[in-house]
Amino acid sequence: MGARKQTVKKKRRSRDGTETTYQNKDIISKIFGESLKGKSLSVYGIRNPLIRDVKPTNLPAIEANELRLDNLFLMEDGAYAIIDYESSYSETNKVKYLGYIARVSKRLYTEYGCYKRIRLIVIYTADVLPGSTDPVLDLGAFKMDIEEAFLTGVDSEGIRRSLTEKVNHGTAFTEEDVMKLVIYSLTYKGREAQQTAVTEAIDIAEKIGDEKIQHMALSGIFVFADKIITEADVERVIRRIDMTKLGRYYLEREEKAVAEAVAEAKKEAKKEKQESAIKFLKTGVSIDNVADCLSMPLKEVQALAAQI
């Protein structure tokens, strides 16, 4: 299940004519991402420490035909895990993975001023059998080792049966139950069977009594099955999760974060101006000239001069 082209403005049109923007998808991804913090992906056969954070997947493009990776996790050990989902194996996918690594590395270097350790994890749906892939790309100057997880051996019917019994009897879901439900649709072979399984998974999730667990399950199904989920099931998830309320919550939170960042930037700029003013004053530049050159209030410069 390779990555696809998309832009921020791209929309999905539902069958009744309404439009679902990718803003909704981003909100749902944030819900699932926050619910994953402190949890493990070991239920999928992936060896990893706990997830510390889920990072944005809109990477700086290195070519016009931008690709979007599936998931980017910051792990407890400080490594960044790129996770992609595939329903078939192709050697050409390795070029795509190289692009992911390059762009993630570029963004992290820009943010932290150093290179971070990156793990590349590919989860194969039941369409791909173990032993039919090559997890290594050795180019001499660069070697890429892919960590693989195969869902072909997962007991799909066992998951459906046990989780259905739990919701029917009102039994509380464990974190492992949710993670199994999230990946359930990808344990089947073929797109048609997978889409049917997505609908079944949503049926089960809608019966979960705990709203927080229900939102985690629904958002996880939405994120993991993004490339196969039907428009009808997209609408079901969005109706069940109050997008208006959640959208307002995340918008207000992001606005608060931006306001705090702006306030911090202004504070830092003021501090730098004051430091520059002090340097000028110490060299004998007049208070009036310092205030004029640095566009600072005269009283502020006078106060700084009094401290020297």
Q: Long-range contacts: 113-118, Cβ < 8 Å, 24+? A: 116/78, 116/79, 116/80, 117/78, 117/79, 117/80, 118/79, 118/80, 118/81, 118/82
pLDDT of residue 268: 82
For the cut 50, the answer to whether the pLDDT of residue 264 exceeds it is yes
- Highest-pLDDT range among 44-58, 85-99, 209-223: 85-99
pLDDT of residue 10: 39
Average pLDDT, the chain: 82
Range with lowest mean pLDDT among 51-55, 161-165, 272-276: 51-55
**Angle made by CA atoms 120, 123, 126, in degrees to the nearest 5:** 160
pLDDT of residue 238: 82
pLDDT of residue 42: 82
pLDDT of residue 57: 64
- Give pLDDT tens digits for 115-138: 999 999 999 999 999 999 999 999
**Range 272-278 average pLDDT:** 89
How many angstroms separate the CA atoms of 15 and 278, rounded? 66
How many angstroms separate the CA atoms of 193 and 47, rounded? 28
pLDDT of residue 204: 97
pLDDT of residue 69: 57
- Highest-pLDDT range among 60-64, 144-148, 172-176, 292-296: 144-148
For the cut 60, the answer to whether the pLDDT of residue 60 exceeds it is no
For the cut 90, the answer to whether the pLDDT of residue 90 exceeds it is yes
For the cut 80, the answer to whether the pLDDT of residue 32 exceeds it is no
How many angstroms separate the CA atoms of 41 and 73, rounded? 11
pLDDT of residue 7: 33
For the cut 80, the answer to whether the pLDDT of residue 67 exceeds it is no
**Range 202-222 average pLDDT:** 91
**Range 138-158 average pLDDT:** 93
- Give pLDDT tens digits for 276-297: 989 988 988 999 998 888 888 9
pLDDT of residue 18: 40
Half-sphere exposure at residue 294, Cβ-oriented, CA atoms within 13 angstroms: 25
pLDDT of residue 294: 87
Q: Which two tokens stand for residue 14?
A: 């539902």
Of residues 82 and 45, more confidence is placed in: 82
Per domain, the residue ranges of the chain are 11-241, 251-307
For the cut 50, the answer to whether the pLDDT of residue 9 exceeds it is no
pLDDT of residue 71: 76
How many angstroms separate the CA atoms of 168 and 126, rounded? 27
